[in-house]
A and B are shown apart, each in its own frame.
Chain A
Amino acid sequence: MWTIVLAAALVASITFAVTFGPANITPLEVWGSILHHLGIGEPPLTALRDSIVWDLRLPRVLTAGAVGAGLALAGVVMQSITRNPLADPYLLGLSSGASLGAVAVLLLGSALLLPVAAFLGAMVALAATLLLAGAFGRITPGRTVLAGIAVSALAGAITSLIIFWTVTGDSYREILGWLLGSLAGARWPAVGIAATAILIAGIPIMMSGRVLDAFAFGDTSATTLGVNVPATRWIMLTAAALLTGAMVSVSGAIGFVGLILPHAVRLLVGPRHRLLLPLSALVGASFLIWADTAARSLFDPRELPVGIVTAIIGAPVFAALLARRRVSS
């Protein structure tokens, strides 16, 4: 039931979001143009205005959707595997690691390697966080978060160092926008990267609800339920790192999507992962599409990095979730 409602909401979000923008193009023309590219009907716009819809808006909206879905899924996995409601790709250092990898290759000048470097950065950061968390005893949720903060700080410092030494002129402006999370550069190749990550990591994660449910009861219970705990933990976290790396490589580090959306969906449908996973992906996609639409149209003709919008919406929502949790427990 919720799946249908939220899937419809996502389709509606895409439909409306592409009609927003600084250029005056009517919704009818926008959809005429998209349908024409899909092989239906005559082109309603000149080649140049058509390009606004097909080369700028649509890939950006689709990238926003895929990134939102990916970050929300990564958030669910991190929260579930670390049994930590505060876990998300940011808190455990994955995003900082991915940013470091991406900035390193960006400044070395290889755009092709970007997603790979971001993934490797996310993996190294994740491994460092978990090794650090387990270095002085059993891995506990609290220790994991603290280790994540340490790894984040180190990766952030190295990223700043690289930027400080290599940035010239005012190119810092663009790098800053990207570090804060921005979809301004999202074209069809970005859609390709984000969609591929959803296919090879997101879909398998969505189908692993049973395993994550088992994890929720603790390692021992999970083992008795037939789950190979260490192997599953690493497979799931690697998948989350893959998603995070791919998403960071196309959009920079967008915060709060992975943290708050799983909580919001849990309020709606409860903690069972079979429903939580796909619904978080759907809500994450719609959420980021709207956040990015706001980012590019609120201050037209300028635009905000979308990470600022998600943080401004996300931080109060998260505070409300914390307060609610305290009252109920």
Chain B
Amino acid sequence: MPRPLLTFSVLASAALLLAGCATASGTPVPSSTNTIPIDNCGVEVPVAAPPQRVIAIKSTSTEMLLALGLGDRIVGTAFQDGPIPAKWAAAASGIPVLADKVPSQEVVLNANPDFIYAGWESNFSADGAGTRSELANLGIRTYVSPSACKEAAYQPKRLTFDDIDQEINQIAAIFHVDDASLLAEQHAVLAAIRKDTRGLSALWFSSGSDIPYVGAGIGPPQLILDTVGLRNIAADVKDTWASYNWESVIAANPNVIVLVDASWSTAEKKIGVLEGNPATAKLDAVKNHRYLIIPFASSEAGVSTVDAAADLSAQLKALNLG
């Protein structure tokens, strides 16, 4: 018997034993309520037994698990886009970081997971964590944030908060925990956001310098801009994020610019790009420093999206448009 399978079967029996006891994480719900496998980007994810050893790839996955009180199931994180938000920092302390970027398959298998939760479909590739079918053969279930599905049949036509709620539902179902309080919390944050009514337009500047990479019309950037009451100048582009061009940005002359702050492409760096290009330096938003800053980790769809929208809304309110 190959070694990984042996370890897995040992673990699986341990998991069965554990499943009997009440675990510290989440609020257990009767397993009989959910038995139908979930169709996740075209891959079936069985829900019969709750996972015990989870690898979370990307910040959105880690935050979802922490928000559902499942931090103690995480055996390792990888490809984290930024620091864990303060409200979960205590729960996340001590979770090993397996890799700064996409973990290799060997790193993944070495952590002995029974479930891998990824933020991007591309995290499951042969040169990444392994393909989903390969991992399934090893008895490891895989799940991708549905909002990041790339197949036309699975990609949300235009992301809504219902899609994020549904992801919360699915993860709760897989782990057999109750999501009512998390959903209520999400809806409360959302309900408190007052849309800006000044009819302002915005550029969502994600990265790039010669060719700007911007938030386009169907993904999380569009959802957040809609929520706070900003018109996305790249809304016509039917994509989540897309390469754009400076000429269209200048022709649109947006009222404000949303800068995504990532360690590898900081907000300051982007301001430098905007001020360094003689054409974009003349934009109203650049001349008047009308910037809204959002951390990269919350610019992707997940439980932090409502917080990002609330934060952006507050920044927008504080902005003096003279």
Contacts and interface: CB of A to CB of B under 8 A. Distances in A.
B248 A55 contact: no
A182 B243 contact: no
A171 B251 contact: no
Contacts of A231: none
A187 interface: yes
Contact of A22 (B245, B262, B283): B245
A48 B278 contact: no
A294 interface: no
Most chain B CB atoms below 10 A, which of A24, A47, A296, A301: A301
Contacts of A185: 209-210
A177 B245 CA distance: 13
A169 B300 CA distance: 14
Contact of A168 (B211, B248, B264, B278): B264
Contacts of B282: 47-48, 51
Given A169-B262, A177-B210, A303 B277 contact: no
A56 B250 contact: yes
B253 interface: yes
B265 interface: yes
A167 B251 CA distance: 31
A56 B249 CA distance: 12
A173 interface: yes
A49 B210 contact: no
A249 to B, nearest CB: 13
Nearest to A178: B210
Contacts of B278: 51, 55, 187-188
A49 B282 CA distance: 10
A174 to B, nearest CB: 6
Contact of A49 (B242, B250, B262, B277): B250
Contacts of B263: 168-169
Contact of A52 (B209, B250, B284): B250
B277 to A, nearest CB: 7
Nearest to B243: A302
Contacts of B247: 21-23, 52, 56-57
Interface residues of B, number: 31
A320 B154 CA distance: 44
Interface residues of A, number: 30
A296 B243 CA distance: 12
A42 interface: no
Interface string A155-194: 0000000000000111101100110001011011000000
B203 to A, nearest CB: 12
A302 B245 contact: yes
A187 B208 CA distance: 16
Contacts of B234: 301
A55 B279 contact: yes
Interface in B258-285: 262-265, 277-279, 282-284
Contacts of B213: 170, 173
A177 B211 contact: yes
Contacts of A23: 247-248, 250-251
Contacts of A168: 263-264
Contacts of A296: 245
A286 to B, nearest CB: 22
Nearest to B234: A301
A22 B211 contact: no
B227 interface: no
B48 interface: no
Contacts of A171: 207, 264-265
A173 B208 contact: yes
Contacts of B279: 51-52, 55-56
A59 B296 CA distance: 33
Contacts of A300: 245, 248
A174 B211 contact: yes
A174 B250 contact: no
A55 to B, nearest CB: 4
A48 B207 contact: no
B244 interface: yes
Contacts of A51: 250, 278-279, 282
A296 B244 CA distance: 10
A182 B265 contact: no
Contact of A303 (B237, B245, B264, B284): B245
Interface string B200-220: 000000111111010000000
Contact of B243 (A49, A187, A303): A303
Given A169-B262, A187-B278, A302-B242, A174 B208 contact: yes
A168 B81 CA distance: 11
Contact of B248 (A22, A170, A178): A22
Contacts of B250: 23, 48-49, 51-52, 56
A188 B279 CA distance: 11
Given A52-B250, A55-B278, A173-B213, A301 B207 contact: no
A67 to B, nearest CB: 15
Contact of B207 (A22, A170, A178, A184): A170
Contacts of B283: 48
Interface in A134-173: 168-171, 173
A303 B244 CA distance: 7
Contacts of B245: 22, 184, 296, 300-303
Most chain A CB atoms below 10 A, which of B211, B242, B247, B277: B247
Interface of B: 206-211, 213, 234, 236-237, 242-248, 250-251, 253, 262-265, 277-279, 282-284, 296
5 contacts: A22-B251, A23-B251, A173-B213, A173-B243, A301-B234
In order of increasing CB-CB distance, the 10 nearest A-B pairs are A185-B210, A169-B264, A168-B264, A23-B251, A55-B279, A184-B210, A51-B279, A55-B278, A22-B248, A301-B248
Given A55-B277, A301-B248, 5 more contacts: A23-B250, A168-B264, A169-B265, A170-B206, A173-B207
